[in-house]
Amino acid sequence: MPFSPLPARDPQTRHRLIGRCLELAEQAKGSGEVPVGAVVVSPDGETLGEGYNTRERDADPAGHAEIAALRAAATATGQWRMEGCTLAVTLEPCPMCAGAISQSRIRTVVFGAWDEKAGAAGSVFDILREPRLNHWVEVHPGVREEECAAQLTSFFQQFR
């Protein structure tokens, strides 16, 4: 089912986007990956790409959910520019992912849990809204934050 136009403008749509990301994160968790899921939707709400963490599976340091979703969206559209698109993700993007988001010209980022150790959308860094860069991203943080944080906490508790 497509999401509403300009997905980030509608709180219910942001809630549903993060819901899909939580489902994708569960797939990562089932594979032994850190449970992070991401989705890219077009300005009219069509899902263009989805992804979840695959660093362990692929032995890929760039195997983050956001990168996978951006790559899938680029493949689906045949272009690297994602102008007007929204990326939703369960965890605040890291510096690497924030750079890729900015470079792909994503318009809006919606995320769930804050990453107080490596976040780059307002907690540790704010790459997505850095005034010295040539592209700025609208950010909607904390959507379903408790659910996203609980999913990550549950995963990491098994290692303690």
Q: Which long-range contacts (CB under 8 A, 24 or more apart) does 130-138 make?
A: 133/102, 135/102, 135/103, 135/105, 137/101, 137/102, 137/106, 137/107, 137/108, 137/109, 138/8, 138/107, 138/108, 138/109
Radius of gyration of the chain from Cα atoms? 14
Phi and psi for 159 in degrees, rounded to 5? Answer: -100, 0
Judge contact between 87 and 110, C-beta under 8 A.
yes
From the candidates 46, 66, 116, 147, which is the catalytic residue? 66
Whether 145 is a known active-site residue: answer no
- Listed in sequence order, the residues at least 6 apart from 114 whose beta carbon sits closer than 8 Å to its beta carbon are 92, 122, 123, 141, 142, 145
Residues known to be catalytic:
66
